[in-house]
Amino acid sequence: MKEFVFDVLHKSSMSRARRGKIVTPHGVVETPAFVTVGTKGTVKALAPEDLEKTGTQFVFANTYHLVLSPGAEMVHKLGGVHSMSGISKPMITDSGGFQAFSLAFPDRKNMYELLPQHDDGSAEEMKRKPMAKITDDGVEFTSHIDGKKYLFTPESSIQAQQHIGADFVVAFDECIYNGATKEYTKRSTERTHEWALRSLATLAGPGLKKVVPGRQQQMYGVIQGGKFKDLREMSTNFIAAQAFFGIALGGVSVGETNAELRDEITWMMDVLHQDARPRHLLGISTLDDVLFSVKHGVDTFDCILPTRDARIGRLYIHTPGTQQDPLKGYEAIDILKSSFKTNTEPINPHILGSVTYAYLHHLFKQRELLAYRLASMNNLYMIEQFFAEIRKAIEEDRL
Residue 223: strand, helix, or coil: strand
- At residue 115, the pLDDT reads 32
CA–CA distance, 198 with 193 (Å, rounded to integer): 9
Neighbours of 87 (CB within 10 A): 25
Pair 19, 139 in one domain? yes
Whether 7 is catalytic is no
Domain boundary among 271, 303, 335: 303
pLDDT computed for residue 116 by the predictor:
34
Closest CA to 309 of 336, 270, 289, 329: 336
Q: Are residues 236 and 96 in the same domain?
A: yes
pLDDT tens digit string along 184-239?
999 999 999 999 999 999 999 876 555 555 668 999 999 999 999 999 999 999 99
pLDDT for position 216? 85
Whether residue 360 is found in the same domain as residue 392: yes
Options 94, 167, 173, 289, the catalytic residue: 94
Reported as a single tens digit per residue, the pLDDT across 243-257 is 999 999 999 988 899
What pLDDT shows up at residue 36? 98
In this structure, are 44 and 61 located in the same domain?
yes
Identify whether residues 356 and 296 lie together within a single domain.
no
Q: Residues 173, 25: one domain?
A: yes
* Catalytic residue (choose from 50, 167, 173, 302): 302
pLDDT at 209: 54
Same domain, 103 and 91: yes
- pLDDT value, residue 107: 58
Residue of 258, 360, 253, 350 lying closest to 314 (CA atoms)? 360
Same domain, 103 and 190: yes
Scanning 171-275, the segments in alpha helix (DSSP H) are 182-204, 207-211, 229-240, 258-272
Q: Which domain holds residue 88?
A: 5-303
Between CA 1 and CA 361 the distance in angstroms is 48
Note the pLDDT of residue 325.
Answer: 82
Residue 167 a catalytic site member: no
pLDDT for 111: 46
Q: Are strands 218-223 and 18-24 parallel, antiparallel or unpaired?
A: unpaired
pLDDT for 143 equals 83
Measured distance CA(226)–CA(345) in Å, rounded = 47
The reply to whether 356 and 225 lie within a common domain is: no
Return the CATH number at 122: 3.20.20.105
212 and 331: one domain?
A: no
Q: Which residues of the chain have pLDDT under 70?
A: 1-2, 100-101, 103-131, 207-215, 321-324
Name the domain boundary from 283, 303, 323.
303
Q: Are 351 and 374 in contact (CB under 8 A)?
A: no
What is the model's pLDDT at position 208? 55
Please give the tally of structural domains in the chain.
Answer: 2
